[in-house]
Structure 1
């Protein structure tokens, strides 16, 4: 497989790896500096473009809308026919429906019944909403004074002009963007290739969910959790399952993953224990840029290269693995996918409902749930169990509570930053 990501000069030398833990911002900046978008392009049908990243600028080939039309149900007329000092009685010349324009002749002093989206008759310049019009016996209508030219009219090209930019290169296509492309009659989109991501878990204590547990074993939850997050991002996944905790098995798995993938993710084995081999093996078969980030949970995290592939060695504890994926791996994947400016997760401040215990020193992500206080204001309540191995807390929570490195314990009512999961996870 041919890769487009050369090993950055800054991480070729293992001596460049500082032993001190990086801040989250430093780690994210270094990662995004080292990761470069894939360049292979492919053309896909519009409905297959959801989640993909545009490879080229896409201009609109047409005007949208293509004609002046009614913004609401009512009566189309020429304002020059109206009296300036009182209501105007008008006859009804016909009806214009969306998709079925009025094709008759509108005599002076008459109006056309028109529905929302219908083409405005060529000699009309306003639409009076039906609630303002009085229908009289015999079909005549009475129009109130004060109608202005252009009232309740959507002009041709109001949304898009021919040649106007629909989407620039490097933009990820979501539902609204898909609709925008469809409105301009786009049927195929040139997008960048999906990244190939190799994923495996390490640890002799792990067993797949369908296998009975031997003494001392646990089911592998990291693999399924990360596979779900990767699937939501729309990448190609090479799931290598579980790899034994031996240097030989890890070296073989890393060689295979680095040869087949653009990005490799492992979980477990990146700490400093005697059985934690991933980082030491990576020193032989790849390059380590850094392996400590000052966050809790998630401090032991290795970032570098294996072959030409970007490498992330995530912590083994499930909450740590998910926190570091959302905060660091996901922005790198978006950059690899071609997103021009992967933004960090957005947050906002709310009062905390309870006391939050924290020691100064590391940026901390606690799990919380947003709720309404009795006065109707939004606040956040921390989950009772904050251990990095308590995966249940990720289901019960709906946001991260972000506590600054220098901060300590917070009292109930203090403001804290929260990152809702729907803005953090794909």
Structure 2
């Protein structure tokens, strides 16, 4: 898998948004595609631009239940005479010719008869004892008629390559009779956790052992991102074990994501093994939590390598690194347009010391009890504290050396934007 980063490790800590953009710029979209049915396409990335095979609507049709008529005929009728109902047009009927001197009872979606130039809603129509219609309110030619091709014209672009197919876009394709699409192949991602202390959930735990939550989390996050996962399990804290795991991951996956062992301690072997098997583009981002995030590659050359992202071992730091850094890289590899981060000004409902040297992403809940949203801490802010992360609605981003003052406004990043 190609990767377009410089080979030199960035000195010092990268600013968060600089790191994010470097990752996006480094990603090369996968080229392999597959043809699947529309029913299988939810969450997949469209590989080619589709053009409309039909006009939409296919014919002029009624926007509501009512009566179709030629307004000039109604206005030319003797005072109080109205118009007789000479035709009934249900949805699914063919295009008819409006009978001269009369109107048509018509239903939503039904073709407007030739010669009719207005549909009057049934709520504005009364019938006399002869069954003639009488109209109320302002009448405008063309009202309540959906014109042929007003949404799309045959041959015009329908959906662009790179579109993430969701309910509305799939419905659009179905409305044009499209039953199969060509999409990008799913990204294959190998994941592994490092740490002698890690054990799988459900195993008997001895003092000092920790249940591995990162792989459980990454399996869910990658499934949400429509990736196929190769779960390599927990890898021992030894260079030999890491070399073996990375050798397999390098050939079996498009991308490798590991957690833990990426700091600079004596038992943190991930960075030196990456450097021996490939190289690092950068290591360390000026963010809290998530500082030890690293981005590199496995292979002889960065331009023909398997990219690797190393997330911190602390689970909240791993989650934040995934959301703000790893996810946009994956979207870019999938050929998707990477969405701009959504942020809103929100007042803090608390005060605390500001971060030093790096921005801090505080896990917060939105309190709407006073009408306007106020950010409150969701719980303990330690990078190991998943309870707060599980309750948080979003992140309040605090710039370095900026005190958090109750009532002051800061940038709020909602978590739901990272759902896929």
| Alignment TM class, shorter chain as reference | over 0.9
Residue 129 (structure 2) aligns with: 137
Matches within 5 A, 1:82-231: 82-83=74-75, 89-101=82-94, 103=96, 106-144=98-136, 146-231=138-223
Q: Counterpart of 1:425? A: 419
Structure 1: distance between partners of 2:201 and 2:130 = 76
Report if aligned partners of 1:90, 1:143 keep a CA contact under 8 Å in 2: no
Show structure 1 runs of 4+ deviating over 4 A.
84-88
- In 1, Cα distance between equivalents of 2:172 and 2:245: 43
Report what 1:410 is aligned to: 404
Tell me: CA distance 1:106–1:6, structure 2 relative to 1, closer, same or farther (3 Å).
Answer: closer
| 1:356-412 CA-partner distances (Å, limit 9, x unpaired) | 4322421211111123142x222221223111100011211111112223x512222
Question: TM-score by structure 2 length?
Answer: 0.94
1:42 is matched with 34
Among candidates 373, 378, 393, match of residue 398 of structure 1: 393
Please provide the CA RMSD for this pair.
1.8
SS in 2 for 1:156: coil
State yes or no: 1:312 paired with 2:309. yes
CA-to-aligned-CA distance 1:237-274 (integer Å, 9 cap, x gap): 10111111111001100111111111100000000111
- TM-superposition CA deviations, 1:167-194 (whole Å, max 9, x none): 1112221221111111111111111111
Does the CA-based 8 Å contact 1:87-1:143 persist in structure 2?
no
Find the aligned partners of 1:177 and 1:358 in 2 and give their Cα distance.
44
Q: How many correspondences in the alignment?
A: 414
Query: Which ranges in structure 2 are unaligned for 5 or more consecutive residues?
Result: 300-304
The equivalent residue for 1:53 is 45
Gaps of at least 5 residues in structure 1 are none
CA-CA distance at 1:135 after TM superposition: 2.0
Query: What TM-score do you get using the length of structure 1 for normalisation?
Result: 0.93
